[in-house]
Amino acid sequence: MRSVLSFFLPFFFVSLSAMADSEDGMHAPISIIKTIVPNKEFLHLPITMSAPLTWVRVEVDGVWQQEFDCRLTVTGKPDFFANLQVGQWKGKKVELIIEKLSEDAEAPSLFVQSDTMAQENTVYKEAYRPQFHFSARTGWINDPNGLVHYDGVWHIFFQHNPYSWDWGNMTWGHATSTDLLHWTEHPAAIQPDKLGTIFSGSGVVDWNNSSGFQKGTDKPLVFFFTYDGPSARYGHRATQGLAYSTDGGKTFVKYEKNPIIPHIIGGNRDPKVIWHKESKQWILALYMDREDYALFGSTNLKEWKQLSEIKNLGCSECPDFFPLAVNGDANNVKWVFWGGNGKYLIGSFDGNNFKPETPPLTNKYGGNDYAAMTFSDTPDGRRIQLSWMNHGEGVFRGMPFNHQFTIPRVLTLRTTPQGQVRLYTEPVEELKKLRGKLEEVTNVKIEDNETVLIPHDGELFDAELRINVGSANRLVINTVDRTIEYNVAEKWIALDGIRAPLELNEGMLNLRLIVDRTSIEVFAQDGEVQIAKVFRPKGGVVYTGIAVESIGGSAGIENAKVWKMQSVTCKIPSTS
């Protein structure tokens, strides 16, 4: 049975062409063509996560533009509304070909055009919304991408599914900040096309216009990503693509000759680009296959040749590659090669080959910390890193968004008390601007099997603890239903059972705890060890402090400071 329906809804004309798959047509999956002529910036799509998966193809004046899968509402109240950008097609004929949608689905009647993104009155007010960690307004996020600073603005891009709470439809979301704390989320920067969805990558400022993309006074911002063909119905095997901005990161154009690196092997992906001034070339680090990576070189950011390989890193995906001065000594610079799970190598780089000087190392032990990336072109030379707090699905169930990032953190190379050069990770100094009311405890002895409470009120806090382990065998610290334990004899620290080796210097345990509504990040010994974890808070529980227990002997709190943290509300940009 074939039926054709046409009717008017506010703001647009709709044409429905439906093909039923059952004899009587009742509740049958059909294909619908919805025609609109946009006069607003966004089309709000109703999403219900329990609804069947459908494909939506977007054509403008008969030309394919993009496609994505989503769970359009069949009946009842939607879980949330996704935002489809249509403002770039104002006045044109836009067709949404919706495949296999239930014939009685309510979704088409709920489509609404608007100049603002959906849920403007409720977004960022949800029960499990992080209060000072970045999270997208709606949809799934994973890896941070394209991190770059330009003209006083920090840009973060991120793997984003704008149309679902689940992974898929990988698109580069975009947000900006002037202080690394307050973020303004913008419409998607780089959309999938027929070469594939847009997987992870990086960004740089092309200060000398080696790419030739510059048009005005702004230097080109150039971005590198992986086209993942297998996750797009019309795509090809994974290749590397390029996009650029000539207006300071407001609009983005894909390079007309993409891909810039063809498929080489396996799932080759996640290009990370840096400038190497000594060899006067751009260097691109690329994950290849298994536990292997490769380095490429270019003088114009568009044409690349392979230089060398880096094998057996002990992880896969998401490379990062950068120099750091050991102990701040500019005459003693080492290179760090980083992989997706936080394994890293320290070594030297001559413009062609990276020579490791250590086995794979780690200082990151978190159960929810993956695909970290550092910013390019930081104004003060700091190596600032942001990471995805993965495996958070159970935490954010029922929310219109899924997952969050860590706080921004600074990486340094330092010599440990044991004489080894290692990577240290600490929160950025800017985070202290969110500190509010202070509670402080000094010089308190903790007897064997005694618990001392360091008071604080509220679910958001930043704590600095300096504890002398004394004669204790173990220290157990409880806060927001999380347990931190230090084992003196076995020299390890653990957060909720996630262990990391940690040797103290002169019996002093130094901890920095960053606690948000749905996460805790532990930095031990000034960042020698870092553990990050997400959790779903218990409703109705009032947290009154940090409990420190000494077991097997006495210990002492030399100093403990706990600051109540301010909530940061992500801003919604104006479309004017």
* CATH code (residue 450): 2.60.120.560
Q: Give the angle 574-575-576 at the CA atoms, nearest 5°.
A: 95
Out of 9-18, 362-371, 566-575, least confident range: 9-18
Q: Of 81, 114, 147, which marks where a domain is finished?
A: 114
8 Å CB contact between 210 and 155: no
Q: Within this chain, do residues 86 and 149 fall inside the same structural domain, yes or no? A: no
Tell whether 125 is covered by a domain: no
Please tell me whether residue 229 adopts helix, strand or coil conformation.
helix
What pLDDT, on a 0 to 100 scale, did the predictor assign at position 250? 97
Instruction: Please tell me whether residues 182 and 97 are part of one structural domain.
Output: no
Range(s) of the domain holding residue 80: 2-114
Q: Sorting pLDDT into bands at 50, 70 and 90, what band is 29?
A: low
Residues contacting residue 90 through CB under 8 Å, at least 6 positions apart: 38, 39
Q: What is the pLDDT of residues 276-289, one digit of tens each?
A: 999 999 999 999 99
In the predicted structure, residue 1 carries a pLDDT above the cut 70: no
The bridge status of strand 401-402 relative to strand 139-150 is parallel
**What's 320's domain CATH number?**
2.115.10.20
Q: Say what the pLDDT of residue 107 is.
A: 80
Which has the closest alpha carbon to 229: 254, 260, 263, 265?
Answer: 263
Give the DSSP letter string of 128-188: T--SSS---SSEEEEEEEEEEEETTEEEEEEEEETT-SSS-S-EEEEEEESSSSS-EEEEE
pLDDT in tens, 417-464: 999 999 999 999 999 999 999 999 999 999 999 999 999 988 999 999
d(CA 166, CA 143) in angstroms, rounded, equals 14
Q: How many percent of the chain have pLDDT more than 90?
A: 83
Is the pLDDT at 2 greater than 50, yes or no?
no
**Range with the lowest mean pLDDT among 48-57, 246-255, 563-572?**
563-572
What average pLDDT does the structure give for the chain? 91
Taking every pair of Cα atoms in the chain, the longest distance, rounded to a whole number of angstroms, is 82
In a domain, 462, yes or no: yes
Q: Of all residues in the chain, what percent carry a pLDDT higher than 70?
A: 93
Domain membership flag for residue 10:
yes
Looking at residue 11, its pLDDT comes to: 38
Residues 320, 384, single domain; the answer is yes
Residues 325 and 212 reside in one and the same domain: yes
Q: Kindly report, residue by residue over 46-77, the tens digit of the pLDDT.
A: 999 999 999 999 999 999 999 999 999 988 99
Among 15-24, 92-101, 274-283, name the most confident range: 274-283
Whether 189 and 321 share a structural domain: yes
As for how many domains the chain has, the answer is 3
Same domain, 144 and 159: yes
pLDDT in tens, 472-486: 999 999 999 999 999
What pLDDT does 572 receive?
58
Q: What CATH number should be reported for the domain holding residue 10? A: 2.60.120
Of 427, 443, 471, the domain-final residue: 427
pLDDT exceeds 70 at position 116: yes
Among the three residues 377, 396, 427, which one is the final residue of a domain in this structure?
427
Q: Are residues 362 and 496 in the same domain?
A: no
What is the layout of strands, in order, in the sheet containing 281-289? 269-276, 281-289, 292-298, 305-310
Residue 96 lies in a domain: yes
Q: What is the pLDDT of residues 396-415, one digit of tens each?
A: 999 999 999 999 999 999 99
Residues 240 and 380 grouped into a single domain: yes
Query: 414 and 298 in one domain?
Result: yes
Q: Is residue 415 part of a domain?
A: yes
- Euclidean distance between CA atoms 350 and 367, whole angstroms: 35
pLDDT at 103 over 90: no
pLDDT of 28 higher than 70? no
Q: Is the pLDDT of residue 488 over 50?
A: yes
pLDDT at position 17 is: 47
Question: pLDDT class for 571, splitting at 50, 70, 90?
Answer: low
Render pLDDT for 350-391 as a digit per residue (tens, 0 to 9): 999 999 999 999 999 988 999 999 999 999 999 999 999 999
Is 525 part of a structural domain of the chain? yes
Q: What is the mean pLDDT of residues 110-134?
A: 91
Domain assignment present for 132:
no
What are the distances in angstroms from CA 343 to CA 145, 354, 360, 397, 544?
19, 16, 6, 30, 37
**Rounded-to-integer distance, Cα 488 and Cα 491, Å:** 5
Residues labelled catalytic: 143
Both 502 and 543 in one domain: the answer is yes
Mean pLDDT over residues 81-108, rounded? 89
- Residue (of 350, 321, 478, 327) closest to 414 by Cα position: 327
> 162 with 41, same domain?
no
For residues 214 and 76, membership in a common domain is answered with no
Q: Say what the pLDDT of residue 26 is.
A: 41
Query: Which of the two residues, 3 and 343, has the higher pLDDT score?
Result: 343
Q: What is the mean pLDDT of residues 521-532?
A: 97
- Whether residue 480 lies inside any domain: the answer is yes
